[in-house]
Amino acid sequence: MTEILEFYKCNICGNFVEVVLPGDGELVCCGQPMEKVKAHNPSEEMIGEKHVPFIQKTDEGFEIKIGSVPHPMEENHYIMFVETNSPDKRFVKRKYLHPSEEPVLKLKCDCDNVVARELCNIHGLWMSEYKETKNE
């Protein structure tokens, strides 16, 4: 069974798909089952890693930059897209990137928590979460 916003990859042709509506069937490409892609969910020690989405709350919403150390954006190594969504997966925004572009996504919203994911053409899928803590 698939779930909304899961990614799957064909290990033969390289097709990369995202589930929009979940179903019970198996995703198949090139006659083979597709592989579910799991995001690297960094530990505290990896926060400075150049692939980790760095999420900053702004007056208008959020700004997501890839890595606290800038990720290369070269023809042979670059961030293919940056995506953010609400934790309930009802709101999603994705920005596709070209090698010469800065890997940044701005999201205007009035929410407290977001999840960000990015896809590096070499090192795969990475994610991080922003959870606002409320003082009681």
User: Which pair of tokens denotes residue 18?
Assistant: 């995202």
Task: Kindly list the domain boundaries of the chain, sorted by start residue.
Answer: 7-37, 44-131
Residue 9, amino acid: K
Dist CA 73 CA 80 (whole Å): 9
Whether pTM exceeds 0.75: yes
User: Which pair of tokens denotes residue 71?
Assistant: 């990720």
Predicted pLDDT of residue 136? 47
Predicted pLDDT of residue 117? 95
pLDDT tens track for 20-49: 999 999 999 999 999 999 998 776 556 557
Residue 45, classed as helix, strand or coil, is helix
- CATH 3.30.428.10 for domain 44-131, yes or no, is no
Predicted pLDDT of residue 48? 57
Which residues of the chain are under the pLDDT cut of 70? 43-48, 134-136
> For 7-37, CATH number?
2.20.28.100
